[in-house]
A and B are shown apart, each in its own frame.
Chain A
Amino acid sequence: MNRLLNFVAAIGAVTLGTVEFIGELALFTISGVLHIFRPPYYPRQIARAFMEIGYFSLPVVALTALFTGMVLALQFYTGFSRFNASSTVASVVVLAITRELGPVLAGLMVSGRAGAAMAAELGTMRVTDQIDALSTLSTEPMKYLVAPRLLAATIALPLLVVLADILGVLGGYLVAIEKLGFTPGAYLTSTFSNLRAEDVISGLTKAAVFGFVIALMGCFNGYRSRGGAQGVGSATTTAVVSASILILALDYILTQVLFVK
Chain B
Amino acid sequence: MSTPKIRIRGLKKSFGAKQVLDGVDLDVERGTGMVVIGGSGTGKSVLIKSILGLVTPDAGSIEIDGEDVLRAPRARARALRAQIGMLFQNGALFDSLPVWENVCFGLLAQKRVTRAKARDKAVEVLAQVGLDANVAGLSPSELSGGMQKRVALARAIASEPAIMFFDEPTTGLDPIMGAVIDELIVDCVKRLGSTSIAITHDMASAQRIADNAAMLYQGKVTWSGPAADLLTSTNPVVDQFTHGRAHGPIKMALRK
C-alpha spacing A221/B159, complex, angstroms: 32
Question: Is B86 positioned at the interface, with any CB of A under 8 Å from its CB?
Answer: yes
Residues of A within 8 Å of B109, CB to CB, are: 137-139
| Interface pair A136/B86, CB less than 8 Å apart | yes
| Interface pair A132/B88, CB less than 8 Å apart | yes
Question: Is A128 positioned at the interface, with any CB of B under 8 Å from its CB?
Answer: yes
Residues of B within 8 Å of A130, CB to CB, are: 92-95
> Interface size bucket, A side?
10 to 19
Of B49-57, B123-131, B194-202, B236-244, which stretch is located at the interface? B49-57
C-alpha spacing A48/B94, complex, angstroms: 15
| Interface pair A135/B53, CB less than 8 Å apart | yes
Write the A129-158 contact mask toward B (1 if CB under 8 angstroms, else 0): 110111111110000000000000000000
Closest B residue to A139 by CB, please name it: B109
> Interface size bucket, B side?
20 to 34
Residues of B within 8 Å of A135, CB to CB, are: 52-54
Closest A residue to B158 by CB, please name it: A137
Question: Is B90 positioned at the interface, with any CB of A under 8 Å from its CB?
Answer: yes
| Interface pair B106/A132, CB less than 8 Å apart | no
Question: Is B144 positioned at the interface, with any CB of A under 8 Å from its CB?
Answer: no
Residues of A within 8 Å of B54, CB to CB, are: 132, 135-136
C-alpha spacing A135/B54, complex, angstroms: 8
Q: Which residues of A in the span 174-228 have a Cβ within 8 Å of any Cβ on B?
A: none
C-alpha spacing A136/B86, complex, angstroms: 7
Residues of A within 8 Å of B92, CB to CB, are: 128-130, 132-133
Q: Which of B49, B89, B110, B155 contacts A138 (CB 8 A)?
A: B110
C-alpha spacing A125/B78, complex, angstroms: 22
C-alpha spacing A130/B86, complex, angstroms: 12
CB B114 to nearest CB in A, in angstroms, measures 14
Question: Is B105 positioned at the interface, with any CB of A under 8 Å from its CB?
Answer: yes
With contacts A128-B92, A129-B88, A129-B90 taken as known, whether A137 is within 8 angstroms of B106 at the C-beta atoms is: yes
C-alpha spacing A174/B81, complex, angstroms: 63
Write the B91-115 contact mask toward A (1 if CB under 8 angstroms, else 0): 0111110000000011001100000
C-alpha spacing A128/B140, complex, angstroms: 13
CB B164 to nearest CB in A, in angstroms, measures 11
Residues of A within 8 Å of B47, CB to CB, are: none
| Interface pair A133/B94, CB less than 8 Å apart | yes
Residues of A within 8 Å of B84, CB to CB, are: 136
| Interface pair B105/A137, CB less than 8 Å apart | yes
CB B153 to nearest CB in A, in angstroms, measures 13
Write the B5-22 contact mask toward A (1 if CB under 8 angstroms, else 0): 000000000000000000
Question: Is B82 positioned at the interface, with any CB of A under 8 Å from its CB?
Answer: yes
Residues of B within 8 Å of A128, CB to CB, are: 90, 92
C-alpha spacing A71/B41, complex, angstroms: 59
CB B92 to nearest CB in A, in angstroms, measures 4
Residues of B within 8 Å of A125, CB to CB, are: 94
| Interface pair B86/A133, CB less than 8 Å apart | yes
CB A240 to nearest CB in B, in angstroms, measures 21
Closest B residue to A133 by CB, please name it: B92
Residues of A within 8 Å of B81, CB to CB, are: 136
C-alpha spacing A178/B186, complex, angstroms: 76
Residues of B within 8 Å of A134, CB to CB, are: 94
CB A149 to nearest CB in B, in angstroms, measures 13
C-alpha spacing A136/B54, complex, angstroms: 9
Closest B residue to A129 by CB, please name it: B92
Residues of B within 8 Å of A48, CB to CB, are: 96
C-alpha spacing A48/B97, complex, angstroms: 12
Write the B202-215 contact mask toward A (1 if CB under 8 angstroms, else 0): 00000000000000
Known: A128-B92, A133-B86, A138-B78. 17 other contacts (CB 8 A): A128-B90, A129-B88, A129-B89, A132-B49, A132-B92, A133-B93, A133-B94, A134-B94, A135-B53, A136-B54, A136-B85, A137-B106, A137-B155, A138-B109, A139-B105, A139-B106, A139-B109
Q: Please, could you name 25 A-B residue pairs with CB atoms under 8 Å apart, sorted by A?
A: A48-B96, A121-B96, A125-B94, A128-B92, A129-B89, A129-B90, A129-B92, A130-B92, A130-B94, A132-B88, A133-B86, A133-B93, A133-B94, A135-B53, A136-B81, A136-B85, A136-B86, A136-B106, A137-B105, A137-B109, A138-B106, A138-B109, A138-B110, A139-B105, A139-B109
Closest 8 CB pairs of A and B: A137-B106, A129-B92, A133-B92, A136-B86, A138-B109, A129-B88, A139-B109, A130-B92
